Amino acid sequence: MASDAAIFDTADIDMGKQGLRNLARAASRSLGVYNAGLSADSVQQKYGVAHVAKLASNENPLGASPQVVAALQADARFSAVYSDASSAALRRALAEHTGVDAENIVVGNGSEDILHMLALAFLNPGDRVVTLMPSFGLHEIFPRMMGAEVTLVGVNAHRRFDVEAWEAALSTPAKMVIFSNPSNPVGCMLDKQGFARIIDAAPQDCLLAIDEAYFEYCESDPDYPDSLRILAEQARPWIVLRTFSKAYGLAGLRVGYGLASHPELVNLLNRVRTPFNINRCAQTAAVAALQDKRHVIDSIALTTAQRGMMAAELAALGFDVAPSYANFLFFDCGRPSSELARRLLAYGVIIKPWRETGYENWIRVTIGSEQDNRQFMDSLKKLLAEEAA
């Protein structure tokens, strides 16, 4: 399996003494255990640093909107009451926001919850899934959990979508196609022409799942495809996934949503969805977040400005930096990234080393606040100076 070892601990689990190995599904035994990485508190306690720059999880440096905070404070007194299991108010708000009918919208405990639903509802052992590499690990993990066969399509030498490779991979039958746009961890954007070519190449009887977790950061780009408009012309089933974790700053509350081609697709997902999967505070926060458009605009403006500065500084240091349209940068540090990431912890900096085959020297770093970004750059320069001494 080519899953991201920085996220998934694939160390073997000894289940023999408990007699579990013979009971467990073979696909389950082969999966890794999700590792969410280090918390700021744990790094602060271990290294005694005054401030931790947590730049590993692509979180919003501005945090949640003040309107969200106020809404949560008002709603906290209802914590003893179950949430609306259908998330009706949130789906209505999303319908108004996106122009998609509420009956075509499914919400999840983060967009990965919907990825899980898709795997449960559609995939059987032996089904073929085509996805991007490197990419968000769950695009591969959930299909493998169901016993599906996964075909990985790499980026090209310029760290951009390899459209020709996608067309070749899609020339044979597939049950599901999954890719993120812009991609994670690379940050590359599939433009309108490339998007159309991949959609045209996909088998007509497959399900298209487009993960747009970072689309707010590039939706104003004239080359970014309007996926909802393009896919609406398709007769096949499709779903576009989005999240409140990034541009809206609600990562800790876990709210994602899917915009589907048909209400029947949503009904299928609801059959495998856990009840009350979105807690009432998360629903309240998401509705409030949609009302504060200025907060999202400010978040994107900060990230865009800081991203340009960081990319230029990293390039000036001699690093190969992939073009990014998201709230992070992916760069080749020229050495094992896990070791560099470990050394940066002593400076109070948490970044994400990538360990997929062929990317062991690559690092993903979040575009954080100006203070955190400066802490990262200054710390990196100190480490490089130590190496040169």
pLDDT given at position 36: 76
| DSSP string computed for 183-204 | -TTT-----HHHHHHHHHHS-T
Provide the 8-state DSSP code for 34: E
82-98 burial code (b ≥16 CB/10 A, e <16): ebeeebeebbebbbeeb
Q: What is the mean pLDDT of residues 2-7?
A: 42
pLDDT tens across 188-223, in order?
999 999 999 999 999 999 999 999 999 999 999 999
294-324 burial code (b ≥16 CB/10 A, e <16): ebbeebbebbeebbeebbebbeeeebebbeb
pLDDT given at position 5: 38
Nearest to 4 by CA among 246, 358, 329, 365: 358
Cβ–Cβ contacts within 10 Å for residue 218, how many? 19
Band the pLDDT of 6: cuts 50, 70, 90: very low
- The interaxial angle of helices 280-291 and 293-316, nearest 10 deg, is 80
Provide the 8-state DSSP code for 240: E
pLDDT tens across 31-72, in order?
877 667 899 999 999 999 999 999 999 999 999 999 999 999
Give dist(CA 52, CA 186) in Å, integer. Answer: 24
7 pLDDT higher than 80: no
In this structure, the strands spanning 8-9 and 328-332 are unpaired
In this structure, the strands spanning 128-133 and 320-321 are unpaired
| Structural domains in the chain, sorted by start | 9-63+294-388 (3.90.1150.10), 78-291 (3.40.640.10)
Q: Mean pLDDT score of the chain, rounded to an integer?
A: 94
Band the pLDDT of 94: cuts 50, 70, 90: very high
84 pLDDT higher than 80: yes
pLDDT given at position 4: 44
* pTM (predicted TM-score): 0.93
pLDDT given at position 31: 80
pLDDT given at position 116: 98
Band the pLDDT of 12: cuts 50, 70, 90: low
Give dist(CA 262, CA 143) in Å, integer. Answer: 22
In the chain, which ranges are continuous DSSP H helix? Answer: 26-29, 40-47, 66-75, 88-98, 111-122, 138-145, 163-169, 192-201, 227-232, 263-272, 280-291, 293-316, 337-345, 370-388
What tokens appear for 179 in the block? 């890719």
Please say whether the beta carbons of 359 and 351 come within 8 A. no
- Of 21-35, 286-300, 322-336, 342-356, where does mean pLDDT reach its minimum? 21-35
pLDDT tens across 240-279, in order?
999 999 999 999 999 999 999 999 999 999 999 999 999 9
pLDDT given at position 2: 43
